[in-house]
Amino acid sequence: VKVHDFYVTPTKAYIVMELLKGGDMLEHVIESEEGRLSENVAAGCVKALLSGLAEMHRVAYVHRDIKLENLLFAGENCEPETLRIADFGFARKMTSSRSTLSEQCGTPGYVAPEIITGQCYTPAVDCWAAGVVLYAAVVGRFPFDAGEDTQASFRMIAEGRVHEIPASSGVSDDAKDLIARLLTVDPVTRFTAEEALGHPWIVKHTSS
């Protein structure tokens, strides 16, 4: 999100930011005609997300709360080129003396297995959350949804038990492949943002 100005008074600090009038990505998924986004639109949005994550990770920042509600649009509609990553309240900078993090945070349904199981973690947690975003965008439901049973959902995440995408859904094999590579339990072999940007599904649907 662009910052236009800031100023400080004796009692308060003010930040003037870009007006994002296009709503968030969750709203657009829910309100779409089929309850999910077309693969062309989803790929554009996910590419914008991954591009932002790649830059954040390059300068050693981890967002830690990537979710549909934190992906906002500056344009009137779900226009990928206007997507902005918002809410950096949980963001942390990695340092030479702190190459991993251990604080448990994030939003249930999006948190990576290593956070749920209490392990130290890296920027790979953002890529897991990007996989959840992608799945929800093209399928129209969440990959680890267990209703009101949060613990069951956490077990699914820890074990990498994703709800199978029905063949009748029409979701392409390339999209399923990228989802699988982002929702890989082992953070070492999980796709990075840079790797995901080079995936055939992203390239195919965003090349003009």
Which positions are annotated as active-site residues?
A: 65
Q: Which residues, 6+ apart, have CB-to-CB distance to 57 below 8 Å?
A: 123, 126, 192, 193
Beta bridge partners of residue 49, listed in sequence order:
none
Structure tokens at 151: 């613990």
Contact (CB, 8 A) for 111 and 50: no
Decide the pairing of beta strands 61-62 and 92-93.
antiparallel
Q: How many helices (H) and strands (E) does the chain have?
A: 8, 6
Give the integer Cα–Cα distance in Å for 121 and 105: 11
Burial environment of residue 10 by CB neighbours within 10 A (0 to 12, 13 to 18, 19 or more) = exposed
Structure tokens at 56: 């954040």
